[in-house]
Amino acid sequence: MLDVAIEPNERYKVSNVFRDASAAARKYGVRLILSLVNNYKDYGGRPQYVQWARNAGVQINNDDDFYTNVALKDYYKNHIKSVLTRFNTVSKITYKDDSTIMAWELINEPRCDVDYSGRTLNEWVREMANYTKSIDNKHLLEIGMEGFYGDSTPERKQINPGYQVGTDFITNNKIKQIDFTTVHAYPDIWLSGKDDSAQLAFMQRWMSSHWADSKKIIKKPLVFSEFGKSNKDPGYSSGVRDSFVNAVYRNIYDFAIRGAVGGGLIWQIMAEGMEIYNDGYEIVLSQEPSTSGVISSQSAKMSILSHLMKGQHGEFKLVE
């Protein structure tokens, strides 16, 4: 769930979908990571908050005021409170008490063009993480970051794909209330024009660096929470995608054995009839048997490893 519906009189539909989805997740033993807002205009997102404020007569300079404007921050806090304290009429559980939810995500892929250092976002994360935990201290909390490095580690910025986006992987994730780090990776977008071998080499550096930093510097688990291969890429084939996904999965498994990695989530598995949401990265398992096999194999391996590590270290769970 990224945001409330854009039109206030349509919000009940979002609430109903969320209600039914969380109840279904409970039924099938699935755990959810729920994003509270999107950085982009899709599903409303950060730009919608800005529009609401402008409609109310608030003086707004640009979308990045979302991170600093008091009115916008209050809008977002009201949203957090409404979601976390909402009572699910199917499961009969308030969301802040729902064990089906693994974690809350503050914002999907935050970016801040007015301050590339990461400091503006850092203050926003600190404030919103504190607020979220004041309502719900039972669930894990993560930011939703892609993993771009900022000014706190100048030597790490060379690992970025040639630019910054206003986040700082190290300082943002060091905030006490943030429980685990996340990384997204789309080398086919970030390194558009580069061949598959160059993109895979970048992916290897990206994953290795963030794994090491999460383990040794931030000292929190890492989830590779988004990665994929678009069927719109030049030279795309299901074999090329399977090879890429396999390479990423091998790294995730190797890192998990060595500690500090909670798993990986491919973007994005879809059901038949959801074509309206296709973005090039969609995988319909019933239509992609080879990719389905790759995902199933990794899930089985991570499940076995999870049980082994749980036996060694107590209550520890890998994201399959």
pLDDT at 57 over 80: yes
To the question of domain 181-320 being in CATH 3.30.420.140, the answer is no
Residue 275: active-site member? no
pLDDT band, residue 1 (cuts 50/70/90): very low
- Contacts of 2 by beta carbon, 8 Å cutoff, 6+ apart: 35, 36, 37, 38, 42, 43, 44, 45, 108
256 or 90: which carries more pLDDT confidence? 256
Instruction: Determine contact, residues 242/294, Cβ cutoff 8 Å.
Output: yes
Q: Of the listed 109, 142, 146, 282, which one is catalytic?
A: 109
* Residue 58 in tokens: 């608030």
pLDDT at 282 over 80: yes
pLDDT for 5 equals 44
Q: What are the helix (H) ranges across 119-214?
A: 119-135, 169-174, 187-190, 196-213
How far, in Å, CA of 7 to CA of 4, rounded? 8
Q: Which of 7, 8, 1, 222 is nearest to 101 (CA)?
A: 1
Q: Once rounded to an integer, what is the mean pLDDT over residues 21-30?
A: 88
Segment (H or E) for 246: helix 238-258
Most distant CA pair in the chain, distance: 58
4 or 290: which carries more pLDDT confidence? 290
pLDDT band, residue 17 (cuts 50/70/90): confident
All structural domains of the chain with their residue ranges: 1-179, 181-320
Residue position matching structure tokens 């300079």 = 61
pLDDT for 313 equals 55
Residue 146: active-site member? no
Q: What is the pLDDT of residues 170-213, one digit of tens each?
A: 999 999 999 999 999 999 999 999 999 999 999 999 999 999 99
N-terminal to C-terminal alpha carbon distance within the chain? 20
Report the interhelical angle of 196-213 vs 238-258 (nearest 10°).
20
- Contacts of 302 by beta carbon, 8 Å cutoff, 6+ apart: 252, 253, 256, 263, 318, 319, 320
Q: How does DSSP assign 213-245, residue by residue?
A: HIIIII-S-EEEEEE---TTSTT--HHHHHHHH
Q: Once rounded to an integer, what is the mean pLDDT over residues 229-245?
A: 95
Q: Of the listed 146, 226, 282, 288, which one is catalytic?
A: 226
Enumerate the β-bridge partners of residue 71: none
Instruction: Determine contact, residues 317/310, Cβ cutoff 8 Å.
Output: yes
Enumerate the β-bridge partners of residue 269: 283
Arch. (CATH architecture) of 1-179: Alpha-Beta Barrel (3.20)
pLDDT band, residue 18 (cuts 50/70/90): confident
In a 13 Å sphere around the CA of 258, the CA atoms on its Cβ side amount to 13
Instruction: Determine contact, residues 168/118, Cβ cutoff 8 Å.
Output: yes
1-179 and 181-320: same fold? yes
Instruction: Determine contact, residues 48/41, Cβ cutoff 8 Å.
Output: yes
pLDDT for 137 equals 97
How far, in Å, CA of 141 to CA of 307, rounded? 23
Q: If you average pLDDT over every residue of the chain, what do you get?
A: 92
